[in-house]
Each structure stands twice: as structure tokens, then as C-alpha cells.
Structure 1
Amino acid sequence: MTIDIRVLELLASKVCHDLVSPVGAIRNGLELIEEMQDEEEDGAPAGGFFGEAVKLIDHSSAQADRRLRVFRLAYGLAGRDQKGFGDARAAATGWLDGGRTTLDWPDRVPSDMIAYRRGVVKTMLNLVLLADEALTHGGTVTVTGEGSEESGRLTVTAAGRPGALRPDSAKALAGDATTEELTPRTVHAHLTGRFAEDDGFRLTVTPSGPDKLVFTADW
């Protein structure tokens, strides 16, 4: 099965671009409502059904905003053009915020010099999402990397139970699943593998005991 990677990235970029504005407008409107409510009630927080509705909308719009940031980098052209890991780290942090999985991705890790490698930021972020998928009961995703633009390795470790990819996701990641076999659950793994191949990365997934899974990308 072949995919025109550029067409896919352009489509993802367009979808994210078209959705960012309305989601941002919702958040701006909520801020205005909260300011008006504070003025009307002398600084007292909004109460009753109105206050609960505002909180619910705020939570949902913030979640939508975080997801769009991830999709823009993971699937769109923006991820391929990144020259540093800061945006991807922030996006991954937002993705995992409030969930059962924590992210261990220190600042300046990997070195931003590695980010000059074409597609490395996109690959890293997609591997973090796969690692989170493997931790169905929560755990810790750890990010490391070493090397240079010319040669190096990214490592993403999923620690926690069960610490394993579903067999259908592993098959999709390897590129062995047909179009008919792909599902909404496995399409991310499939795209992760195809993006990595297109940018010249060799992906491996290695179990390390019963509660750890190690993803590596070499170039």
C-alpha cells in the first residue's frame, strides 16, 4: 500500500488550520465572559448552572486546542519543518495532561542540533503517542536522544503495565497491514511507520521485561 505523504501532510495541515481559529475564538469568548462575570459580581466566581457550563466549555475547548497542536505537528507539514523540540515537547505535555501517563522529557533533550534532521521532530512526537497508547493503565513515557543531524538515535520508553503494543498496532507500524485491515485504532501506528520510512528512519520496538517497551528510531 502506498501513500502520498505530502498530500496527507497538506490535508492534515489544512484541517488543523481550519479548526484552530474557531477553537481559539471559543477560548477568547470564554475569557471575555469570565471578565464580564467578575465585573458584575465584584470579583465573585460565576455560580450555578451558568458557572458550571462555562467550566465545561473551557475544559473541552482547552482539550481540543491541545489535540490540534499535537495533530498539526504529528501529521502536518509543520512537524517536518521544526528545528527544535520545544513545540513538540509542549504538545506532548498537553496531550498527556490530566491522564494516567506522565512524561519525562527534560528541556534540551535531545539536543536541538538533532532537530535539523528532516522529520526527526515528527517522528519523536509520533513515537511518544505510540508509547502512550501502549500504556493502557498509565505509566511513564521517557524521551532521550543522541547523535547529530547525520547519524543518531531517538529512544522513547514506555514504562508501566502492560507496556506493549496491541498486535494489530504492531503490524500496522511495520507496514504489514492492508488498507482493509487498518482501523481508527491502528492508523496512527501505520502513519508513524510510513512517515519514519519517508524520512529515512529505521524504527524498532523492543520489549524490556513485562512492564517496559522501548521504541527506537535510528538514522
Structure 2
Amino acid sequence: MADIVELDGPDLAAMLCSRVCHDLISPVGAIGNGLEVLADPEQAEMAEFAQELINNAAKQARAKLEFARLAFGASSTQGTQIDTREAEKVAQSYMSGEKADLEWNIEPVLLPKNKVKMILNLLLISAGSVPRGGTVTVSLDGAPLGEEGAILKSTGKKTLIPHLVGPLLAGKPEDGRIDAQVIQPYYAGLLARESGLDVTIELVDDVVTIAAVKTK
């Protein structure tokens, strides 16, 4: 069995930064395009459309930044725990720009930072498993603090397991390499292992289930 791939701190940080930048390129570029239209007197008839484009892109960029700060960064939260209400807020804001709806079935509670970050990273994978829209449900496994882990289920018109995600969650990419394009699912698995959890992903009857369960 292949060994888990380990990354040093600088490489992990660089790849996560690349991932965040990749997510922001589209909305920031749209803002730039809208401003160019507003500055061009020959496109005055497009001003209303450009303003709407800027407003929507700015909202999307803010949602992505707030989500990334909590999912990838240290965030502004003090201590070693995060209120799940804060996680729900950034998750709902992020998912408002995605095709899938979010059902957040986690009661307000303080959870360890790494567990919250893991849930948010697994949410990104769940959203990617319903590319044509659907519903992603997030729940804790074991009350009240999710001692046994977390369960995410995706249902929709055409569900799928994103390419190579299973091995990456296990920290064992098929080619043994990790780069910025695949760092996010690898990082999700890393957070799970740091939380004493094993992650599996499966597709059964058009339902994609990601289960982060307590390591036996």
C-alpha cells in the first residue's frame, strides 16, 4: 500500500495560496471588465449592465475570501475553537454563488478549528459532486460535538465523484504527486487525519456521501 504523501510547510502554504488566487481570478477579472466599460464613454449604454456585473462579482469575491479565510487560513477567531454559526454563515454565503443548495444541519456549538476547516473543505468537494445543481447536506456524526466525525451528502440531477478525489483524500494520489490543482482535496484529508478521522467518498443510488469518521 502506498505511503501517505507528506508536504513541508512552505510547499503546502504556496499551493493553498495558488488555490485561493485561482478562485478569485474570475470575480476580480469581472470587476475589472465592468470598470473598463464604465470608464469608456463610447459604451455608455452598457453602464447599467456593467454596474450589475461589478456588484455581483464583488459579492462573489467577498464570499470566496471570507470562506477561504476560515477554510484555509487562520481566520480572526481567537483560541482553538470556532463557532459553527460562523462556519455556517461563510458556507451559506459561498454556496449562494454555486449551483447547489446547502442544508446545514449542525447546531450552534464550538468545535476544534481543524474539524471546522475540514468540514468546509469537504463542502467544496460535495459542491463539486453536483455540477448541475442539487442539495448538499452537512451533519455531525455523534452529538453534541461530532465526536464521531461528520457526514456530507450530495443529491442532484447528475451526481459524480470528482476526478481523483478519493486517493487525494487519503493522502495517496495515484501518481504520487501533489500540485496546486489538487491541493484542496489533499488538504481536506490532511485536516481529517489531524482530527483523528478517516475520510471516505462513495456514490450509491445517485447520492455522493463523504464520511469523516473516527479512526479505529
Output the TM-score relative to the length of structure 2. Answer: 0.71
Is the partner of 1:165 in helix, strand or coil?
Answer: coil
CA distance in 1, matches of 2:158, 2:169: 18
- Superposed CA RMSD in Å reads 3.3
Output the CA distance in 2 between the equivalents of 1:137 and 1:208: 18
> Is residue 11–residue 76 contact of structure 1 (8 Å, CA) maintained in 2?
no
Instruction: Indicate conservation of the 8 Å contact 1:143/1:156, yes or no.
Output: yes
Instruction: Encode CA deviations 1:97-136: one digit per residue, 9 max, x unaligned.
Output: 1432111114xx14514x1x34111111111111001112
Q: Is 1:84 equivalent to 2:72 in the alignment?
A: no
Shift of residue 64, structure 1, vs aligned partner: 0.8
Q: 2:128 aligns with which of 126, 133, 137?
A: 133
Q: Distance in 2 between matches of 1:173 and 1:11?
A: 16
2:166 aligned with 1:166, yes or no?
no
The answer to whether structure 1 residue 3 and structure 2 residue 10 are counterparts is no
Q: Which has more helix, going by share of residues? A: 1
- Equivalent-residue separation in structure 1 for 2:7 and 2:125 (angstroms): 20
Counterpart contact for 1:9–1:75, Cα < 8 Å? no
Question: Residues 7 and 166 from structure 1, CA distance in 2 versus in 1: closer, same or farther, beyond 3 angstroms?
Answer: closer
Return the match for 2:66 from 55, 69, 72.
69
Q: 1:92 to 1:143 in 2, by over 3 A?
A: same
Give 1:58 deviation, angstroms.
Answer: 1.5
How far the C-alpha of 1:183 sits from its partner, in A, is 5.8
- In 2, the alpha carbon distance for the partners of 1:192 and 1:62 equals 25
Letter in 1 for 2:6: T
**Identical aligned residues as a percent:** 23
More strand by share: 2
Bigger Cα Rg? 1
Higher relative contact order (CA 8 A, sep 6+): 2
Whole-Å Cα distance in 1 between the matches of residues 11 and 86 of structure 2? 23
Instruction: Compute the displacement of 1:201 (Å).
Output: 1.9
In 2, Cα distance between equivalents of 1:6 and 1:149: 32
Which runs of 5 or more structure 1 residues have no equivalent in the other structure? 31-46
| 8 Å Cα contact 2:121-2:188 kept in structure 1 | yes
Gaps spanning 5+ residues in structure 2: where? 36-43
Is 1:96 aligned to residue 95 of structure 2? yes
Q: Decide whether the 8 Å contact of 1:172 with 1:190 is kept in 2.
A: yes
- Any idea what SS the aligned residue of 2:83 has? coil
Residues 157-201 of structure 1: per-residue CA shift (max 9 Å, x gap):
1112432213412221221115646462x3211111112212322
Q: How far, CA to CA, are the matches of 2:93 and 2:146 in structure 1?
A: 30
- Give the equivalent residue in structure 1 for 2:213: 218
The amino acid across from 2:82 in the alignment is K
Residues 1:105 and 2:104 are matched in the alignment: yes
Count, aligned residues? 187
Read off the aligned partner of 1:195 and give its amino acid letter: L
Q: Distance in 2 between matches of 1:132 and 1:150?
A: 21
The worse-fitting range, judged by mean Cα deviation, of 126-135 and 145-154 is 145-154
- State the alpha-carbon separation in 2 of the partners of residues 165 and 187 from structure 1: 16
Q: Structure 2 CA distance, aligned partners of 1:183 and 1:7?
A: 9
Aligned match of 1:157: 153
